[in-house]
Amino acid sequence: MRRWRTLLAVLAATVTAATMSPAPASADPVTPTVVGGTTATLGEFPFMVRLSMGCGGALYSPTLVLTAGHCVSGTGTNTSITATFGVIDLQSTSRVTRKSNYVYRAPGYNSTGDDWALIRLASAVSGTNIGTLPITTSTTYDTGNFTIAGWGAASEGGAQQRYLRKATVPFVSDTTCNSSSMYAGQVNAAREICAGFTAGGVDTCQGDSGGPMFRQGASGLVQVGIVSWGDGCARPNKPGVYTQVSYFSAAIKAAATSLGG
């Protein structure tokens, strides 16, 4: 059974970084980081976005955030989402926020695939420590080592992290990921990509859904995956499963164009 890496109980709550109490992160009711990771540095990943429904995302353009389809309720006008940019500390007074005005979810989205969506912002975002992340348009970068980042739980069932964390995970082949010792055929080999360690210990987790998996490309970082699902967090033989951006790149670009981004 697929276990999304989002916080379903938070989807209707739309708790934002701007409304968080300055109390310690462990006291916050939101339980949205990367298991086995380290704290990122300010400006290291300027494209990282925190979404108020308990998901992550990447800034695709100054007006669009790329996230997971299961993080949103569908396509249409939506002014309820708050996106936070430009910080590693969600309680920083330097954070920049924008409200959404429209959501586009992949037309083929269902509970077993096409797990991507675009959130259009009410106004363009810019500023210090804010930048965009290009998506890969081919399978060239779909192997090797990837970087994952987010504010989700640092352990399975754990609490939201106040500070952005990061980690490195290796590619896992479709054959291995779909083997009986891992996901036994549950992974859509054409549309999903796996990454993680056989021994476990490093992974995305609840609250990281929608965030990017990325690596070095020909001229900078490129996004190759979107945090989607997995069995628990950082368990042995249960790597993270990510939406394979290369497969959907043309559709994502077309949707972005239609949204003015």
Catalytic residues: 70, 115, 209
Residue 17, φ and ψ in degrees, nearest 5: -60, -30
Q: Rounded CA gap, 217 and 110, in Å? A: 30
- Determine contact, residues 188/247, Cβ cutoff 8 Å: no
Burial of residue 93 (CB within 10 Å: 0-12, 13-18, 19+) is exposed
CB atoms closer than 10 angstroms to residue 144? 12
- Determine contact, residues 51/71, Cβ cutoff 8 Å: yes
Strand partners, 145: 170
Count Cβ neighbours within 10 Å for each residue of 99-135 and write b for 16 or more, e otherwise.
ebbbbbbbeebeeebbbbbbbbbeeebeeebbbbbbb
Q: Rounded CA gap, 161 and 199, in Å? A: 24
Strand partners, 5: none
Cα–Cα distances (Å) from 29 to 34, 35, 61, in that order, read 18, 20, 31
Q: What is the DSSP string of 56-115?
A: EEEEEETTEEEE-GGGS--SEE----EEEES-SBTT-TT-EEEEEEEEEE-TT-BTTB--
